[in-house]
Amino acid sequence: MASPTELMLEDLSQKYAAMPVANAYLRLYENEKRFGRIFASLHERLNDHFESINDRADTTHHYWADSSREMIALIREVDDVLGALKSADVVVDFNEKYRAAMGGCRVWLKGSGGSVVPEDFEQIGIVKYEPVFALSGMVARLRKRNADVRLQLIGEGSYAKVFSFVDPDYGIKFAIKRANKDLAERDLHRFRQEFDMLKRLSFPYVVEVYKYDEDRNEYMMEFCEVTLREYIKRRNASLRFAARKRIALQFLYGINYLHSKNVLHRDISLQNVLVKTFDGGAVLVKLSDFGLVKEKGSEYTRTKTEMRGTIPDPMLASFKEYDVRNEIYAIGHVLSYIFTGRGALMSGDNEESRIVRKCTAHDVADRYQSVLELIKDVEKLDVNPAGVPG
């Protein structure tokens, strides 16, 4: 049997379940499943009265009799709800300005004949776009600064520039990718499409994006220290094969995730794979630069579009016909560099070279037919192979 406290809370929720509440207020409390409708109802009715009282204070200084009685009852209702929740150990933070405004109105409101709004009445600041009720412990006060931050240019391409900056509130470095001002409308559409696609994807080995600025045509993203090319180049003499294998697998897991979502990157390269570094030598590989991304079945690619991509497959006749096996060709070049740190494709007799050759075979039918198939072979690699750095 439910406890008396649970029964009381259930009755309280049921009381407000049938009350009409505007969506404009319900949306403010959508994360508070149990008491959200209660808070939205009280918030909406408080705003209705506060707006009316503000108006009467500017005109007749008289608040109607019926409205006065309703406001007195609403003040009592707010007190009762907060008291009932407190008795059930549910402590609610109530906006201090609203609490003070309620207390101020309590002084001059009359139950009959209407109420005289005091001459020294101060207008009540109406809160419409953020909650005024919140469960205690569920609120964090965030500083918001309007100060400009200094950007540092860290990358530049045909379509966009990438900057880094340190957020003054959090002390964390982020990146901003900004479309070039002279970008053609079609390429600007692709730039926004890149953000929308990345926003939908959620995977450890895909770069994370946060917010798009329509005015500047730019978006915020997580900061990664270096490209895959630079990371391996700087460490090539000392990077052990076990570390190379982990990097290769993270890279492949990211691509396999995209393909599982019916997404083709179409511009796999050493520049478009980033590396996020951590203390102790740990790294995370992050796929980035989704400007040429294409969902399976999408018709966005023009029939006579030019061949694009950093590592073009010589066997691909039309960019419109690009499929998984063409992606695997570019993957083979990246894997070769991960394993050796050299630009030329591997050509030895070891298992790593065999994998690379299969990725880049001239006959697409001889290539890996899926990244998952490729992953299985890379996972089997000996971490102490002969003829490979480390």
Neighbours of 313 (CB within 10 A): 23
Cα-Cα-Cα-Cα dihedral sign, residues 348, 353, 354, 357: negative
Show me where the domains of the chain are located. 16-135, 152-222, 226-379
Which residues are documented as binding site for ATP?
177
Residues 336 and 242: beta-carbon distance below 8 Å:
no
Which residues are documented as binding site?
177
Place of tokens 């503000």: 54
User: What pLDDT score does 139 carry?
Assistant: 56
> Measured between alpha carbons, how far is 309 from 331 in angstroms, rounded to an integer?
12
User: Which residue from 299, 290, 228 is spatially nearest to 265, judged by alpha carbons?
Assistant: 290
Residue 212 CB burial class (10 angstroms; 0-12, 13-18, ≥19): middle
> Helix axis angle, 324-340 relative to 371-379, nearest 10°?
20
Q: Check: CATH 3.40.50.300 for 226-379?
A: no
Q: Which residues contact 73 (CB under 8 A, 6 or more apart)?
A: none
DSSP state of 206: B
User: What pLDDT score does 169 carry?
Assistant: 81
User: What pLDDT score does 304 carry?
Assistant: 44
> Measured between alpha carbons, how far is 183 from 249 in angstroms, rounded to an integer?
35
For the segment(s) 152-222, the CATH number from 1.10.150.120, 3.30.750.24, 3.10.20.30, 3.30.200.20 is 3.30.200.20
Residue 135 CB burial class (10 angstroms; 0-12, 13-18, ≥19): middle
CA atoms within 13 A on the CB side of 385: 21
Residues 259 and 178: beta-carbon distance below 8 Å:
no
User: What pLDDT score does 349 carry?
Assistant: 92
Place of tokens 């460490």: 235
User: What pLDDT score does 18 carry?
Assistant: 87
The predicted-structure confidence for 374-383, as pLDDT tens digits, reads as follows: 999 999 999 8
Q: What is the pLDDT along the chain (390 residues), one digit of tens a residue?
A: 678 888 999 999 999 998 999 999 999 999 888 899 999 999 999 999 999 999 999 999 999 999 999 999 999 999 999 999 999 888 899 999 999 999 999 999 999 999 999 999 999 999 999 999 998 776 555 666 666 788 999 999 888 999 999 988 888 999 999 999 989 999 999 999 999 999 999 999 999 999 999 999 999 999 999 999 999 999 999 999 999 999 999 999 999 999 999 999 999 999 999 999 998 889 999 999 998 998 876 654 444 455 566 898 998 888 888 999 999 999 999 999 999 999 999 989 999 999 999 999 999 999 999 999 999 999 999 987 665 555
